[in-house]
């Protein structure tokens, strides 16, 4: 009986090792950057009601007002670290922006992450009406730059 208990304990202790060894990790190369697009804008002056921005829409219809404006940017693929930038009328304002909400992750039918939605906050005292531009470089050489522009009115 003692031998059976010892054998049973040995089997229980070995199970995690067996399952750990037998499980396989599945990995794939990070996808190339294929899409960068402003998909929404809002501000605290409009109570955070998001205006959806359509593909190729050139200007926001609702002016930003209040203390902070917010921009939602869809990024499909992998961005080279440190290359995501935000511009207001050609002036780099990236250092004055902040993460307004945690990133959302977009997955395909196989639950593989293919994109990210970044929510960027901008103090409206730091910007003026005009062209907002977001840019990022592809992770892979030749590190092509993708960008999107949107005209935004600031009250």
Domains, the chain, ordered by start: 35-152 (2.60.40.2870)
Tokens of 83: 């290359």
Give 92-141 as a 3 state SS string: ECHHHCEEEEEEEEEECCCCCEEEEEEEEEEEHHHCCCEEEEEEEEECCC
pLDDT mean for each 10 residues of the chain (155 residues)? 45 45 57 95 94 95 96 96 96 96 92 92 96 96 95 96
Q: Output the pLDDT for position 112.
A: 86
Q: Output the pLDDT for position 26.
A: 52
Q: Output the pLDDT for position 27.
A: 59
Closest CA to 66 of 130, 151, 147, 127: 127
Q: What is the pTM of this model?
A: 0.80
């Amino acid at each position: 009986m003692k031998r059976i208990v010892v054998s049973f304990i040995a089997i229980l202790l070995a199970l995690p090792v067996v399952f750990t060894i037998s499980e396989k990790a599945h990995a794939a190369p990070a996808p190339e950057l294929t899409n960068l697009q402003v998909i929404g804008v809002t501000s605290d002056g409009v109570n955070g009601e998001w205006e959806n921005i359509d593909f190729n829409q050139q200007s926001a219809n609702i002016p930003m007002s209040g203390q902070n404006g917010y921009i939602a940017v869809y990024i499909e693929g992998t961005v080279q670290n440190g290359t995501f930038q935000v511009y207001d009328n050609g002036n780099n304002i990236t250092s004055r922006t902040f993460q307004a909400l945690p990133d959302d992750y977009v997955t395909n039918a196989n639950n593989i992450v293919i994109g990210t939605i970044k929510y960027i906050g901008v103090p409206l005292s730091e910007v003026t009406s005009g062209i907002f531009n977001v840019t990022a470089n592809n992770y892979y050489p030749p590190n092509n730059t993708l960008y999107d522009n949107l005209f935004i009115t600031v009250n």
